């Protein structure tokens, strides 16, 4: 298990179930776990270029994998995405718990709680993927909806919604930073947030933007490095802004 401390963030490269027992108390678990999509993430695209050129440079320097220089690819699969998600270790891991993708594993959640919805196509555009995603929150409360256009692989292109324009695609199932800021605010802006399945670090970036503390875990070194870099950049930006 590797540990990186970057200002307000502590990031672990390793299995989150190994990380969990080593942690002190956290105020919230806010996460977007894999839940059995069996998705092929070997996506080559314009939006993947920047993240993967960073990664490739590092690997090339270390004598590792390929470097195409232009379009490179994600790992073929997401760890854990070949089986249903078990929320049991997380539902009591913190006073506040928010689990994205929970519409796919609602039958394994405890009774009660509320829902946060993300409407990905507020324009009504017809698309072949799902029109939104749901997060379960362990609070009995009214359902809330956040509307933000997000077209996955096209993120960062000129045609995007103003809130997401300019963001790079760094992970095949990346969440928008603005969505995660909204989600953290809905959860009551908890002071210390743990994302056990942090991927490219969107929850951590949002936490930095809101001036909170963040703990993250990621099992895939490619995504871990990207998360470290994004979270460091987010802190630098916040300092400049301040």
Ligand X SMILES: C[S@@+](CC[C@H](N)C(=O)[O-])C[C@H]1O[C@@H](n2cnc3c(N)ncnc32)[C@H](O)[C@@H]1O
Count of residues engaged in binding ligand X, rule: CB under 6 A: 23
Least distance (Å) between residue 124 CB and ligand X:
25
Output the CA torsion sign for 94, 97, 100, 103. positive
C-alpha distances out from residue 12 to 52, 138, 192, Å: 20, 25, 15
Least distance (Å) between residue 172 CB and ligand X:
8
**Nearest CB to ligand X, comparing residues 33 and 87:** 33
Tokens 């300092």 sit on residue: 239
Element (H, E) at 213: strand 213-218
173 binds ligand X (CB under 6 A): yes
197 binds ligand X (CB under 6 A): yes
- Beta strand 114-119 with 144-147 is parallel
Applying the rule CB under 6 A, the residues between 8 and 27 that interact with ligand X are: 15-17
**Nearest CB to ligand X, comparing residues 33 and 48:** 33
151 binds ligand X (CB under 6 A): no
147 beta partners: 119
118 beta partners: 133, 146
Q: Which of 200, 192, 197 is nearest to 227 (CA)?
A: 200
Identified binder of ligand X from the candidate list 27, 32, 225, 232, rule CB under 6 A: 32
Q: Which of 58, 233, 74, 66 is nearest to 153 (CA)?
A: 74
**Site string (96-125) toward ligand X, x via CB under 6 A:** ------------------------------
186 binds ligand X (CB under 6 A): no
Least distance (Å) between residue 226 CB and ligand X:
8
What backbone phi and psi angles, to 5 degrees, belong to 66?
-80, 165
Identified binder of ligand X from the candidate list 72, 164, 174, 235, rule CB under 6 A: 174
Identified binder of ligand X from the candidate list 113, 200, 204, 216, rule CB under 6 A: 200
Applying the rule CB under 6 A, the residues between 203 and 232 that interact with ligand X are: 217-220, 223
The DSSP annotation for 100-130 comes to: ETGGGSGGGSPS--EEEEEES-TT----SS-
Least distance (Å) between residue 38 CB and ligand X:
13
In this chain, which residue has its C-beta nearest to ligand X?
199
Identified binder of ligand X from the candidate list 171, 179, 187, 216, rule CB under 6 A: 171
d(CA 30, CA 102): 12
CA dihedral 206, 22, 24, 10 (to 10 degrees): -30
194 binds ligand X (CB under 6 A): no
Structure tokens at 36: 């059995």
Contact positions toward ligand X, by CB under 6 A?
A: 15-17, 32-34, 78-80, 171, 173-175, 196-197, 199-200, 202, 217-220, 223
């Amino acid at each position: 298990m590797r540990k990186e401390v970057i200002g307000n963030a502590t990031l672990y490269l390793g299995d989150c179930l190994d990380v969990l027992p080593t942690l002190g108390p956290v105020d919230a678990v806010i996460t977007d776990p894999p839940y059995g999509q069996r998705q092929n993430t070997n996506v080559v695209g314009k939006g993947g270029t920047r993240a993967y050129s960073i990664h490739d440079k590092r690997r090339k320097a270390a004598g590792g994998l390929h470097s195409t220089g232009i379009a490179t690819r994600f790992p073929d699969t997401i760890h854990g995405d070949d089986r249903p998600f078990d929320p049991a270790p997380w539902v009591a891991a913190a006073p506040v718990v928010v689990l994205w993708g929970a519409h796919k594993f609602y039958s394994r959640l405890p009774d009660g709680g509320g829902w946060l919805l993300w409407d990905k196509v507020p324009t009504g555009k017809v698309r072949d993927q799902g029109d939104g995603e749901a997060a379960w929150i362990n609070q009995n409360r009214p359902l809330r909806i956040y509307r933000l256009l997000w077209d996955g692989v096209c993120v960062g292109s000129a045609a995007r919604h103003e809130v997401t324009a300019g963001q790079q695609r760094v992970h095949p199932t990346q969440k928008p930073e603005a969505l995660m800021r909204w989600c953290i605010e809905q959860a009551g802006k908890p002071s210390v947030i743990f994302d056990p399945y942090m991927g490219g670090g969107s929850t951590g970036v949002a936490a930095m933007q809101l001036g909170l503390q963040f703990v993250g875990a990621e099992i895939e070194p490619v995504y871990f490095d990207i998360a470290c870099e994004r979270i460091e950049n987010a802190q630098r930006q916040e300092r400049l802004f301040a």
